[in-house]
Structure 1
């Protein structure tokens, strides 16, 4: 019986999914990130930042480019300090008029100083999940979790950002 109530609530939420009027266009944003790794040769985490620009084609699809500071990590075998230039597609589902859940997939060109990852630069995959909330008509906030492949190392990046739509 409890499952039926949860299913009914989920169906009610999904039935309220609708396209937001004029929910397309250019947007700019930036925020703080926490980059973590579970690689034993590097320290656990570091704070960094991210700046992005994108274009929402409609409420369901956006393309985005970003510049990300990957932080500084130190380890017994060497250090890692890097940054990344990203290109990704965001596949979104609007929930009501102000909330959008999304998944992202793309590539990023990264460059590192004091690189323990095996290369000093390369092109690798990035993917993630997130939620956006339009606080006002053209201003919103985003919480996002991404995985960035950096050579043999996976960096987990959690971002809290704000954006402005034009």
Structure 2
């Protein structure tokens, strides 16, 4: 009987301590991540009406800042660079470099020292295309604002957190533009 009371008391203390830790998980944060950017796409040569497609990956990175308004809700924005992807065949070479500024609403599920999160938002992107074929070469650029979303997890280590995530950017003409990344976040 005495042991049962001790277990209940220990459980109540743990819940109160966790509640205090969650209450401290609000405020401003900054971070940076590096990872693997993947891009696939297709298009048509505007002059000779030839179709081309490509898929490749490169090192990508991002820097971001955010505000954890409540333990379960935040906002975040930053700069993301997807690197330069290139696809070469015997007759063509396609190179695309894409970067942009993004903004997200972030839903957070705090589970002690591990947080799971999902986010939805937009990216204002710039994409530069360089196409070289056997008979034709051209450069093109496109910019716009499109939707984005992602999921991830963060392992809290005091004011720091190690964060891993996957993000998808829904840009017309660029299929499967995504970024898998791991980084470090500091919360003030």
Q: Shorter-chain TM-score category?
A: 0.7 to 0.9
Contact 2:161 2:184 in 1 (8 A): yes
* 2:107 equivalent to 1:91: yes
* Bigger Cα Rg: 2
Please name the residue that 1:55 is paired with.
Answer: 67
Q: 2:26 aligns with which of 18, 24, 27?
A: 24
8 Å CA contact 1:34, 1:47 repeated in 2? yes
The secondary structure found in structure 1 opposite 2:54 is coil
Runs of 4+ with deviation above 6 angstroms: none
- Please say if residues 25 and 55 of structure 1, whose CA atoms lie closer than 8 Å, have aligned partners that are also in contact: yes
- When the two chains are superposed, the root-mean-square deviation of aligned CA atoms in Å is 2.0
Listed as ranges, the gaps of 5+ residues in structure 1 are: 1-15
**Count of residues in Structure 1 that have an aligned counterpart in Structure 2:** 147
The structure 1 residue matched to 2:96, chosen from 57, 61, 80, is 80
Match of 1:141 in 2: 162
How far is the alpha carbon of 1:38 from its aligned partner?
A: 4.2
Distance (whole Å) between structure 2 residues aligned to residue 111 and residue 33 of structure 1: 19
For structure 2, list consecutive stretches of 5 or more residues without a partner in the other structure: 1-14, 43-52, 132-139
Q: Which protein has the bigger strand share?
A: 2
The question of whether the paired residues in 1 share the 8 Å contact of 2:56 and 2:86 is answered with no
Q: If the length of structure 1 is used for normalisation, what is the TM-score?
A: 0.81
TM-score (norm 2): 0.72
